């Protein structure tokens, strides 16, 4: 449904772009003609991804930590030097783990909140200032389908994602006059190596989660990547301040982590350790 050159001469920055959902979105955008700026903490992984995508000429890799506001500012400057402007930003960098909140360490809490909430704000502010000067752009924030409801055992992520959701809606109003659109995607369980290892440590949890999804399957990275392409494109030019769920109807059924808390409080004892 997308034209091959949909994003020709447009530059999209993706945080957490070296693996998982970030890599899937980068692949789709590249195939539609975009220039890519991939941000991640590991240069080796970013370079490997750029090589696998097969178009290093159109890809700039920036190894940096989104929790470092000054580093983010310098990195976005390099992106503008390379491609001239930034047309889109995908705030995808994240982290998560299962842990009973009474065992949660301050460092564990801060590690997630600083990446998801603070990192998103630092990138949004840096790119947003640029977009204000260049006539607008699109910012897309990747959340989770529990951003509005909350979720047991993943408190740092739930708190941070809720903050990003409010950031999305607030700036959609504040920056609308600058022709800047902000939207969010809230995926349900989508198998990627990092997420599955952290959140599905046992087949029992996976089976229980699947049983709560009306479509009876997990999402696929490509499905979310295609939704991201739509929301970044001019086809969605009148959509702003929205959070689009892509979870097979799970959020209409229930939340798997809350089910664990209510129905199976002892299930995770072997897996949950202080973080």
Which residues are the active-site residues? 146
Q: 3-state class of 141 per DSSP?
A: strand
Q: What is the CA radius of gyration of the chain?
A: 18
For residue 176, what are the CA distances in angstroms to 117, 185, 212?
21, 19, 37
First-to-last C-alpha distance (Å) of the chain? 44
Long-range contacts for 191-194 (Cβ within 8 Å, ≥24 apart)?
Answer: 191/218, 191/219, 191/220, 191/221, 192/19, 192/20, 192/21, 192/221, 193/19, 193/20, 194/19, 194/20
In this structure, how many other beta carbons lie within 10 angstroms of the beta carbon of residue 186? 21
Q: 3-state class of 203 per DSSP?
A: helix
């Amino acid at each position: 449904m997308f034209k091959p050159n949909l994003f020709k001469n447009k530059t999209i920055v993706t945080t957490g772009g070296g693996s998982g959902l970030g890599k899937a979105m980068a692949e789709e955008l590249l195939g539609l003609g975009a220039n890519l700026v991939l941000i991640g903490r590991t240069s080796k992984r970013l370079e490997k991804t750029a090589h696998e995508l097969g178009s290093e000429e159109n890809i700039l890799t920036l190894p940096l930590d989104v929790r470092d506001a000054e580093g983010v500012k310098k990195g976005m400057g390099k992106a503008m030097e390379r491609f001239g402007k930034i047309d889109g930003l995908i705030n995808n960098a994240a982290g998560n783990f299962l842990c009973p909140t009474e065992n949660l360490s301050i460092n564990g809490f801060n590690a997630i909140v600083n990446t998801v909430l603070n990192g998103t704000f630092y990138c949004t502010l840096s790119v947003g200032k640029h977009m204000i000067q260049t006539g607008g752009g699109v910012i897309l924030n990747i959340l989770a389908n529990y951003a509005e409801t909350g979720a047991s055992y993943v408190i740092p992520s739930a708190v941070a994602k809720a903050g990003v959701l409010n950031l999305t809606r607030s700036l959609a109003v504040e920056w609308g006059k600058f022709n800047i659109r902000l939207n969010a995607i809230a995926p349900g369980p989508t198998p990627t190596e990092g997420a599955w290892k952290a959140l599905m440590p046992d087949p029992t949890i996976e089976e229980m989660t699947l049983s709560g999804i009306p479509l009876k399957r997990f999402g696929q990275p490509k499905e979310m990547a295609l939704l991201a392409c739509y929301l970044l494109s001019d086809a969605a030019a009148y959509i702003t301040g929205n959070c689009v769920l892509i979870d097979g109807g799970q959020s209409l059924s229930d939340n798997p982590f809350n089910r664990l808390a209510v129905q199976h409080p002892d299930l995770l004892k072997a897996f949950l350790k202080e973080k």
